[in-house]
Structure 1
Amino acid sequence: MTSETMGGLLVLGAALLDQLIGDPRRILHPVVVMGWSIRQLRHWVEPWAGDDPMKLRIGGGLITLILVLGSVLTGWCLERLLWLPSSWQWISIPVLALSLASTLAARSLRDSVLAVVNALPSAAAGDLELARRNLSWIVGRDVQSLDREGLLRAAAETASENAVDGVFAPLFWMGIGALLWMVMPSGPGPLALAWGFKASSTLDSMLGYRTGRLRWLGTAGARLDDLLTWLPCRLVMLTLPLVCPPWKQWAQRVQAAERDGSADPSPNAGRSEAIYAHCIGIQLGGENRYGELLVQKPVLGAGQPTANVTLVRSVLKASSRLEIVWLSALGIIQLAITR
């Protein structure tokens, strides 16, 4: 097996493993290690920085540099197993494919969203506690006050936003790594780049809040995550309409998603939700509660039907179709380069 084909086959294997097994609970997940590392680094940085904004920004930058660079180098070291004598490849290929699969969340996202949706039909009148409890595992908003429609809207929003963060952005960086291997087999490849992205995403999810010290400590990680997600998000905006007929509405949907999504403070989250809203035909956004704080999110796809079970399932199905398209595109690009 040559470097020209190895990267693409590993990415395909990782995507298949993710769909088959998701995130096995009995295997130590790299994100758990990254989270533990972030907590340890905070214990060193915060006593030094105190409440000084400048020191907190510097400390946050160091945490980001150490975690992301360390993740890239760890992935790169594992990748070097491939270039040991061929008798080792029967071990190294499965290890790398499983490590790559750990950066994808298609199966776990689908299962988590469906756990909310499937809890609704069996709920007795007014009894939505199971659906609320399932939703609380995957969103940061207050779920206790949500009615059936609010639960479905939250499920659709997390399915559309996290499709970019949890599936297409890591898949994009894997693909870049696979293509880099074609010209420089000894350089960082799919695992190194995917783990680097996953490190920035974990930093954003743990430190990227505008409260207390995190307002400054999490700046570097949040900005890096925005940067690394920027291009994959725009590629999702351009390609999702291709798997959601009619295709003649491609330009209209992309323009509408850019218009609606640009109103969100995040450079990526609003746009990723907006393109799903316009492709599926569902209205998203509105008021969310986070503890005592009420946040008015931009309305996406105004005038379209509000969330229901069928539309939430359609969001998940569109993501599955688009993942197949992206994997096929990577294979076609690799084939074109080798020829």
Structure 2
Amino acid sequence: MNSGAMGSLLILGAALLDQLIGDPSRMLHPVVVMGWWIRQLRCRVEQWAGEHPIKLRFGGGLITLILVPGSALAGWCVERLLWLPSPWQWLGIAVVTLSLASALAARSLTDSVLAVLNALPPSADGNLEPARQKLGWIVGRDVQNLDQAGLLRAAAETASENAVDGVFAPLFWMGIGALLWMGMPSGPGPLALAWAFKASSTLDSMLGYRTGRLRWLGTAGARLDDLLTWLPCRLVMLTLPLVCPPWTRWAQRVLLAERDGAADPSPNAGRSEAIYAHCIGIQLGGENRYGERRVLKPVLGAGQPTANVHLVRCVLNASGRLETLWLSTFVISQLVITL
């Protein structure tokens, strides 16, 4: 089997494994390791830089230069297990597949959002605290004062935005890694690129805030994450309408999503949510609170129904269909290239 075909099969196996087991709580997750390194490096940089913006920017860039290539190198080293002599090669395949699955979050995202929906009370005057607690585990906004409508909107928004960050962007970079293997079998492949992306994403989630020292310390990681997510986000915008009929509205939905999403300060987050809003038929956006800070996000899909349990489930189901489309495209493309 050539390296390119091996890469596509590993990606397919990883996606299936992710759907089956998600992120097992008893296993050490690579993102946890990345987070530990970020905390250690941040502590050292802040001790050296103090409150000096230029030093903090330089230190943030240094953290990025250490973590992202370091994660890629770790992935490349794990990939070397594939070339173990028989019969140990099967062990290498299993380890690489499991490692690739760790870069995907389809099952964990679905389970987390469904946990919020299942915790909602059956009546309008019921206790919302269980749902607020479960939502607080997966979003950065203040959830304590959200009513049921706010909880449902937040669940829909995190399901749509994190589908790109947690599923489709890693899949995209895995696919690029499989293509690289076709020309250079001994070079970095799907796992190296997937872990490099996860490192940048973890940097953004931990340091990419515009408060305190992080305004300067997190700049490099946030910009790199924006760059690595830019193309996967646009591919989601182009392909999500293909799994959400009627297909005759493909161009209209893409153009409306671009119009609505462009109003968001993030080059990717607003567009991710906007394409789901127009494909599912749900209004997203509005006021969010982050502690004492009030943020007005652009309204996406204005005039469409506000979030409800059914529509949030539709967002999750659409992501599942789109993942199937992407994986099928990977396999068919590989077959066409190798014929």
Q: TM-score range by the shorter chain?
A: over 0.9
Q: Residue 211 of structure 2: SS of its match in structure 1?
A: coil
TM-score calculated relative to the size of structure 2: 0.99
Counterpart CA distance in 2 for 1:221 and 1:101 is 23
Q: Residue 297 of structure 1: SS of its match in structure 2?
A: strand
Aligned sequence identity (%): 82
Amino acid at match of 1:216: W
Counterpart CA distance in 2 for 1:44 and 1:128 is 41
Amino acid at match of 2:281: G
Counterpart CA distance in 2 for 1:327 and 1:59 is 38
Counterpart CA distance in 1 for 2:331 and 2:177 is 13
1:273-306 CA-to-partner distances (Å, cap 9, x unmatched) read 0000000000000011111111110000000000
Q: Residue 87 of structure 1: SS of its match in structure 2?
A: coil
Counterpart CA distance in 2 for 1:226 and 1:141 is 20
| RMSD between superposed Cα atoms in Å | 0.9
Structure 1: any 5+ residue segments left out of the alignment?
A: none
1:64-106 CA-to-partner distances (Å, cap 9, x unmatched) read 0100010000000110111121222111001000000000000
2:293 aligns with 293
Amino acid at match of 1:20: L
- For the pair 1:127 / 2:141, whether they are aligned, the reply is no
Amino acid at match of 2:310: T
1:269 aligns with 269
1:89-143 CA-to-partner distances (Å, cap 9, x unmatched) read 1110010000000000000000000001111144672311111111010011111
Counterpart CA distance in 1 for 2:32 and 2:125 is 38
Amino acid at match of 1:291: G
1:292-335 CA-to-partner distances (Å, cap 9, x unmatched) read 11111000000000000100000000000000000011111111
Report the number of matched residues: 339
Q: Residue 297 of structure 2: SS of its match in structure 1?
A: strand
Counterpart CA distance in 1 for 2:334 and 2:36 is 37
Counterpart CA distance in 2 for 1:88 and 1:58 is 44
Q: Does the 8 Å contact 2:121/2:128 carry over to 1?
A: no
Counterpart CA distance in 2 for 1:75 and 1:175 is 15
Query: Where do 1:1-339 residues align within 5 Å?
Result: 1-122=1-122, 125-339=125-339
Amino acid at match of 1:10: L
Amino acid at match of 1:252: Q
Counterpart CA distance in 1 for 2:78 and 2:153 is 41
TM-score calculated relative to the size of structure 1: 0.99
Structure 2: any 5+ residue segments left out of the alignment?
A: none
Q: Does the 8 Å contact 2:241/2:247 carry over to 1?
A: yes
Which aligned runs of 4 or more in structure 1 are off by greater than 2 angstroms?
121-126
Amino acid at match of 2:330: L
Question: Cα distance 1:123–1:108, how it changes in 2: closer, same or farther (>3 A)?
Answer: farther
User: Per-residue deviation at 1:20?
Assistant: 0.3
Q: Which moved more, 1:225-234 or 1:84-93?
A: 84-93
Counterpart CA distance in 1 for 2:63 and 2:34 is 11
Q: Residue 125 of structure 1: SS of its match in structure 2?
A: coil
Q: Does the 8 Å contact 2:253/2:279 carry over to 1?
A: yes
